[in-house]
Amino acid sequence: MANLSTRPLELSQDPEITNPNFRTIPTAIPDEGVGIVEAPRGTLTHHYITDEKGVIKKANLIVATVNNAAAINMSIKKAAQALIKPGKEITEGLLNRIEMAWRPYDPCWGCATHSLPGQMPLEVIIYDAQGNAVKKLSRF
């Protein structure tokens, strides 16, 4: 294996990477196709199945929000636990600060969910030590 200083050169000369045939144009009606692309929000995976005329019958889109769901949930939980304290008032500003926990993963929730006008629906439910809901703050 090459050392780190020569690895970029090695990759730039790899025929698997530099091959000009990086895209195959179908010559017949495809029955299935998968595409994966890295985008600013993360990896996007598209999987399509077509009928005999090439009309899409099934589509499965796996977007960055899905790929990052576990990390997003952990970040939100950590932010909420750090910000919500006994006796502290729960305000719209607090919701905004909790929202900041997932913005690095999903900077445009409106784009991710196709919701307009882009207002992030958010609900915070605060539970006591016994698991009873004691306060709820919503923004829809």
Instruction: Between 111 and 10, name the one with better pLDDT.
Output: 10
Examine the pLDDT at 99 and tell me if it is beyond 60: yes
Which residue carries 């090439």 as its tokens? 54
Confidence of residue 58 (pLDDT cuts 50, 70, 90): very high
Cα maximum dimension of the chain: 67
Q: Determine the average pLDDT of the residues in 53-59.
A: 94
What pLDDT score does 91 carry?
79
Percent of the chain with pLDDT over 90: 19
> Pick from 41, 45, 40: which is nearest to 102 by CA?
41
Query: Token pair of 41, please?
Result: 């929000």
Instruction: Between 42 and 109, name the one with better pLDDT.
Output: 42
Distances (CA, A) of 73 to 20, 42, 88, 99, 101: 41, 16, 23, 11, 9
Helix (H, G, I), strand (E, B) or coil at 70: helix
Window from 54-63, 87-96, 114-123 with minimum mean pLDDT: 114-123
